[in-house]
Amino acid sequence: MVELSSIITLMLVSFATMIVLMFLVWLVSEKINNAGIVDVIWGFGFVVLALIDFALAYANGWGWMPRNAIVLLMVACWSLRLGFFLAIRFKRLWPAEDGRYSAYRQAWGKNASLGLFLAFEMQAVLLASLTLPFALAMVSTAPRFAACEIAGIVIFLIALVGESLADQELETFKKDPANRGKVCQIGLWNYSRHPNYFFEWLVWVAFFTFSLAFPFGWCTFYCPLLMLWFLLKVTGVKATEEQALRSKGEAYAAYQRSTSPFIPWFKKRSSL
What is the rounded distance in angstroms from the CA atom of residue 108 to the CA atom of residue 200?
29
- How long, in residues, is the chain? 272
Query: Domain residue spans in the chain?
Result: 1-144, 145-272
In eight-state DSSP terms, residue 272 is -
User: CA nearest 46: which of 140, 116, 132, 149?
Assistant: 132
- Given a contact cutoff of 8 angstroms between Cβ atoms, the answer to whether 50 and 136 are in contact is no
Q: Is 74 helix (H, G, I), strand (E, B) or coil?
A: helix
CA dist list (Å): 91 to 19, 38, 86, 94, 268: 25, 13, 9, 5, 36
For residues 67 and 34, the answer to whether their CB atoms sit within 8 Å is: no
197 touches 231 (CB < 8 A): yes
Distance CA 74, CA 160 (A): 9
Per 3-state DSSP, what percentage of the chain is helix, strand, and coil (rounded to 5)?
80, 0, 20
> Which pLDDT score, from 0 to 100, does residue 141 have?
92
b/e for 43-76, b at 16 or more Cβ within 10 A? bbbbbbbbebbbebbeeeebbbeebbebbbebbe
| Sequential pLDDT tens for the chain (272 residues) | 557 899 999 999 999 999 999 999 999 999 999 999 999 999 999 999 999 999 999 999 999 999 999 999 999 999 999 999 899 989 988 988 887 788 888 888 889 999 999 999 999 999 999 999 999 999 999 999 999 999 999 999 999 999 999 999 999 998 899 998 899 999 999 999 999 999 999 999 999 999 999 988 999 999 999 999 989 988 778 888 988 898 899 999 999 999 999 999 999 875 44
CA distance 28 to 23: 9
Of 88, 80, 23, the C-alpha closest to 50 is 80
pLDDT of amino acid 271: 45
CA–CA separation, 194 and 189 (whole Å): 7
Q: Rounded CA gap, 248 and 128, in Å?
A: 35
Closest CA to 153 of 57, 234, 73: 73
